[in-house]
Amino acid sequence: MHSFDGPRLLPVGHLHLRLAGASTVGRRYPANFDVLHVDPELPLAVVADGMGAGEGSRRAGNTAVSTLVADVRATWPDVDARRLRTAVAQVQSAVRAAGADLADLTGCTLTALLVEPDGGQGWLVQLGDSRAYRLRDGLLELLTVDHTAAWLGVVHGWYAADSPAAARARYQLTRYAGHPREPEADLLAVTLRPGDTWLLCTDGVSDQVDYHRLREILADPDPGQAVSALLDTTLTAGGADNATAVIVHVS
């Protein structure tokens, strides 16, 4: 069974955003350590994926998302790179504080899309290996970079993408919320155009749904139907991980 958020229609400047999100526990884990937020008022969507399957994972995801959302709401409508960097710094501090009494690792990924009030520009916030994709004019592109040893290894030719070494390195995150050195997030300024479809997802989606099937699903103009089909596909593929996605259609 999936937990759904949306679909919602938000006017943002000259644009209309239709957003829908959903999450499923899959077939491997006893609980869902992903966190999903589709804001009811602001053009803001966030996904997080806890590291591990314990209390630290649960705390990290909930703390990271709630801290980022609270900060964006408190500073809205002022949105810029400086404020977002401040918000991510607060996320890092909050996640580390949340896990201070735990022996377990307390950390999570964090991927967010925030659109400025006039709709002219959006911002992607990226920590870890959850992802943001954009389908535009039939071309599906991955816009974020995975902060993992696997990404570095494949890009620089240390090993083949389908090798056992790459599979092991997928679990070695170089940046995440709760990291002891509190690394900064990638911030990417993006434009949104009518006809765009955006996807934020955890690796339970990107690891189980191949590029061609992903593009096929995102071509559906109804984000609610598309997000449901996407999570159904992760279960058909084996449900090896919690899977969470937010789809944003721009008109």
Residue 42 · residue 11 · CB < 8 Å? no
Average pLDDT over residues 184-208: 97
242 close to 202: Cβ distance less than 8 angstroms: yes
Local structure of residue 201 (DSSP, 8 states): E
Give burial (CB, 10 Å; 0-12/13-18/19+) of 60.
buried
pLDDT at 120: 86
The residue behind tokens 């290996």 is 129
Strand order in the sheet with 243-250: 3-12, 15-24, 243-250, 197-201, 131-136, 139-142
If 0-12 CB within 10 Å is exposed, 13-18 middle and 19+ buried, where does residue 57 land?
buried
Return the closest-CA partner of residue 23 out of 35, 8, 31.
35
Q: pLDDT at position 65, please?
A: 98
Residue 15's domain comprises 3-250
Report whether pLDDT(88) > 80.
Answer: yes
Q: Would you mind telling me the total number of residues written for the chain in this entry?
A: 251
The CATH number linked to 139 is 3.60.40.10
Q: pLDDT band at residue 1, thresholds of 50, 70 and 90?
A: very low
| pTM as predicted | 0.96
- Eight-state DSSP code of residue 138: T
Which tokens belong to 117?
């009030």
The residue type of 114 is L
Distances (CA, A) of 225 to 147, 228, 244: 30, 5, 14
Residue type for 94, please? A
Q: 39-43, 103-107, 160-164, 216-220 — which is least confidently predicted?
A: 160-164
- Please list the residues that pair with 105 across neighbouring strands: none
Query: How many domains are there within the chain?
Result: 1
Tens of pLDDT, residues 129-175: 999 999 999 999 999 999 999 999 999 999 888 899 988 988 899 99
Place of tokens 């900064």: 184
Strands of 120-196 (E only): list them. 122-127, 131-136, 139-142, 186-190
Q: Indicate the range of 64-78, 149-163, 198-212 predicted with least confidence.
A: 149-163
CA 44 vs CA 20, 21, 60, 184: distances in Å: 12, 12, 19, 20
